[in-house]
């Protein structure tokens, strides 16, 4: 008997074995009924049987064997994709999802080979069945991973958003204590709270922005007419308050008026300056230069210190990247998103950001068009 005919004839026996195995995948399957455990198994098997009965070229066979079978334009989700979506929402993990397909493959082939005795099973059916299962696994895992990523990003986004209000309360209370002049101990404690709160605020901002980009929303900007020189001077004053022992210099030349989101560009500058403080020489100033040119404004942030290797520079703006000495010098103070967020803010303004480094200094250069 050919495998496609066997699958359609003995569908119930195959589904019973699928259900039995799925019921062992705890804790997700603990309270699931028969229909939920079987989910789209029948539709997956029917698709496999149809595939086995359809002629295919050697090229199509190869594409399917590596999980890259073409999908018809405008076609709805496959049964394997929908199955993965429901398993993700049901609390299964990706290993359990893959285990279902391994068990399905083994049980179908075992039952069919037993049925074929004493005759030999058709070798081509075995090959094509394995290819069809591989394609279903590829479709399921791709959809499952996308669903898990989206759920994680949404959770982190909501968590970051909900933490803003209590953090703002802490910062406001600390600022109030610092303004009381109630003695050195109180002032020192308030200063520590302000510095820690500022670090937490930066982490939350980076996390929320990162999640927006991962959800395909990009960096949100609201451009208005403004002067970058004033905006950047205000931002550097805030950084100086958090790092009073570091020297931050600002040089401005030319007209720095333009249409941009001033708050976002302050965030960009803050990320670049904080990066320079973390990795630059502690006894050397961080120099910020803002130059107004005909059609754009150029920002440069320079710090002295060890040169950065070209291999590191190539990935400097990738997310979740941190300097080689980060653990020793700044443990827990960064998610490795600062430069990535800076690049996304520049990109949202139609600008570009680049970095260069040698034995004397490291320079980050941002070019921003006046009107985007």
Per residue of the chain (372 residues), give pLDDT as tens: 899 999 999 999 999 999 999 999 988 888 888 999 998 999 999 989 998 888 888 777 777 666 566 654 444 578 998 999 888 888 898 999 999 999 999 999 999 999 998 888 889 899 889 988 988 999 899 889 888 877 777 777 677 667 777 787 888 888 888 888 778 888 888 887 877 787 777 777 777 777 777 666 678 888 999 999 999 999 999 888 888 889 999 999 999 999 999 989 999 999 999 999 988 999 999 999 999 998 999 999 999 988 888 888 878 888 766 655 544 444 444 557 889 889 999 999 999 999 999 988 999 999 999 875
Helix axes 11-22, 41-52, angle to 10 degrees: 130
Angle in degrees, CA 57, 61, 62, rounded to 5:
120
pTM of the model: 0.55
Distance between CA 122 and CA 82 in Å, rounded?
Answer: 31
Distance between CA 365 and CA 298 in Å, rounded?
Answer: 7
320: left (phi over 0), alpha (psi -120 to 50) or beta: left
Letter string b/e over residues 191-205, b meaning 16 or more CB atoms within 10 A of that residue's CB: bebbeebbbbbbbbb
- Burial environment of residue 225 by CB neighbours within 10 A (0 to 12, 13 to 18, 19 or more): exposed
Distance, first Cα to last Cα, the chain: 68
Q: Length of the chain, please?
A: 372
Q: What is the pLDDT of residue 298?
A: 96
Distance between CA 135 and CA 132 in Å, rounded?
Answer: 5
Structure tokens at 293: 């040119």
At 104 the three-state DSSP class reads helix
Backbone angles phi, psi at 185, to 5 degrees: -65, -45
Q: Which residue has tokens 């961080």? A: 286
Contact 219, 344 (CB under 8 A): yes
Distance between CA 108 and CA 17 in Å, rounded?
Answer: 9
Distance between CA 57 and CA 299 in Å, rounded?
Answer: 57
Angle in degrees, CA 20, 25, 29, rounded to 5:
85
Backbone angles phi, psi at 71, to 5 degrees: -110, 135
Q: In the β-sheet with 286-292, what is the strand arrangement from edge to edge? A: 248-253, 286-292, 296-304, 361-369, 352-357
At 289 the three-state DSSP class reads strand
Q: Which of 100, 101, 132, 139 is nearest to 3 (CA)?
A: 132
Distance between CA 312 and CA 310 in Å, rounded?
Answer: 5
At 220 the three-state DSSP class reads coil
Residues facing 368 on adjacent strands: 297
Distance between CA 355 and CA 338 in Å, rounded?
Answer: 14
Q: Which residue has tokens 């939350």? A: 204
Backbone angles phi, psi at 180, to 5 degrees: -75, -20
The dihedral over CA atoms of 268, 271, 275, 278, expressed in degrees to the nearest 10, equals 150
At 354 the three-state DSSP class reads strand
Q: What is the pLDDT of residue 320?
A: 67
Work out whether strand 248-253 and strand 352-357 pair parallel, antiparallel, or are unpaired: unpaired
């Amino acid at each position: 008997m050919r495998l496609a005919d066997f699958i359609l004839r003995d569908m119930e026996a195959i589904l019973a074995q699928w259900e039995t195995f799925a019921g062992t995948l705890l804790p997700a399957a603990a309270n699931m009924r028969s229909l939920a455990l079987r989910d789209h198994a029948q539709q997956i098997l029917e698709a496999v049987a149809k595939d086995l009965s359809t002629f295919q070229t050697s090229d199509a066979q190869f594409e399917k064997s590596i999980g890259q079978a073409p999908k018809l334009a405008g076609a709805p989700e496959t049964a394997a994709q929908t199955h993965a979506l429901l398993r993700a929402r049901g609390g299964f993990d990706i290993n359990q999802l893959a285990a279902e397909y391994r068990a399905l493959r083994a049980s179908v082939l075992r039952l069919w080979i037993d049925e074929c005795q004493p005759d030999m099973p058709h070798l081509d059916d075995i090959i094509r069945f394995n290819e069809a299962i591989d394609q279903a696994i590829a479709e399921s895992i791709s959809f499952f991973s996308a669903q898990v990523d989206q759920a994680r990003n949404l959770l982190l986004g909501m968590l970051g958003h909900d933490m803003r209000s209590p953090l703002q309360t802490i910062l406001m209370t600390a600022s109030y204590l610092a303004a009381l002049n109630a003695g050195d101990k109180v002032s020192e404690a308030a200063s520590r709270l302000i510095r820690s709160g500022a670090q937490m605020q930066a982490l939350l901002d980076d996390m929320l922005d990162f999640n927006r980009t991962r959800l395909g929303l990009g960096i949100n900007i609201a451009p208005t007419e403004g002067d970058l020189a004033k905006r950047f001077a205000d931002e550097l004053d805030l950084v100086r308050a958090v790092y009073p022992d570091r020297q931050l210099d600002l040089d401005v030349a030319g007209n720095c008026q333009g249409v941009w989101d001033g708050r976002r560009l302050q965030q960009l500058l803050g990320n670049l300056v904080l990066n320079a403080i973390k990795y630059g020489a502690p006894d050397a100033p961080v120099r910020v230069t803002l130059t107004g040119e005909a059609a754009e404004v150029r920002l440069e942030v320079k710090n002295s210190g060890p040169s950065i290797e070209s291999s590191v520079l190539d990935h400097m703006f990738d997310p979740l990247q941190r300097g080689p000495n980060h653990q020793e010098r700044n443990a827990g103070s960064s998610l490795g998103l600062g430069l990535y967020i800076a690049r996304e803010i520049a990109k949202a303004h139609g600008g570009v950001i680049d970095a260069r480094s040698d034995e004397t200094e490291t320079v980050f250069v941002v070019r921003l068009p006046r009107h985007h």
